[in-house]
Amino acid sequence: MTKKKPKKKKKEKSLNYKSLTFIGAIFHFIVYLLLDLTFYNDSLFWLSLLLCGIIFGIYFIKKMKLLNPDSYKKLEGMKLRLYMYTISFLMFIGTSLLFGNIINGTILGLNYIGKTEQIRNVEYPIQKIERHKPIRGRKGIRRNNPKVFLIKDSNLISVKLPERYDSDKNYDEFKSIEMELQKGLFGFEIIDSYTLKK
């Protein structure tokens, strides 16, 4: 009986980490879907990633005793220090992506769900359109989209269009883009549709 109890505890802990990773993946997918469709605040996006990395990174580093030399048996000296700092750095990156995406995904998701039905048409002058750098995966090139640079509220911003980049299409001839925008729950505008104009 006494041997079975610790096994149950280990299973519960591993399930908690798995569920946390699964939740993080869901919110990452929400960010992936909605970020390009929303005029989201870049400062808020990066600040949430940075703060989550620092706060949760320090918490998990202390909890898992990653900077404690006694936690490592076979390493010593410079190799030990390098390994500890590398693991701690990866922990900061991991917590930034996991918890940062949970925050950004929650804001983007609620903003999208609570959008108003009222649509307003706005036309923006295009500064340039370039081919968004593709990410190569196992199934070929993904997110091969045109990236539009436009001026909104006196700021130069970029928007990745949902359409696939067409090499036969002359994007230089488009001078403006007309967008149908809906106001989200938190005030971040959502692109309902768009039209490239010559």
pLDDT, tens digit, for every residue of 13-45? Answer: 444 667 878 888 899 899 988 998 999 988 999
Q: Is residue 165 within 8 Å of 141, Cβ to Cβ?
A: no
Q: Is 9 exposed, middle or buried (0-12, 13-18, 19+ CB in 10 A)?
A: exposed
pLDDT of residue 184: 94
pTM comes to 0.77
- The residue whose two tokens read 């280990």 is 10
pLDDT of residue 143: 58
pLDDT of residue 40: 93
pLDDT of residue 4: 52
- The residue whose two tokens read 């010559």 is 198
pLDDT of residue 136: 54
- Rounded Cα–Cα distance for residues 117 and 182 (Å): 7
- Rounded Cα–Cα distance for residues 114 and 149 (Å): 27
pLDDT of residue 105: 94
pLDDT of residue 109: 95
Q: Is 34 exposed, middle or buried (0-12, 13-18, 19+ CB in 10 A)?
A: buried
pLDDT of residue 125: 92
Which residue ranges in the chain fall short of pLDDT 50? 1, 8-15, 138-141
pLDDT of residue 93: 92
pLDDT of residue 74: 73
In total, the chain counts a number of residues equal to: 198
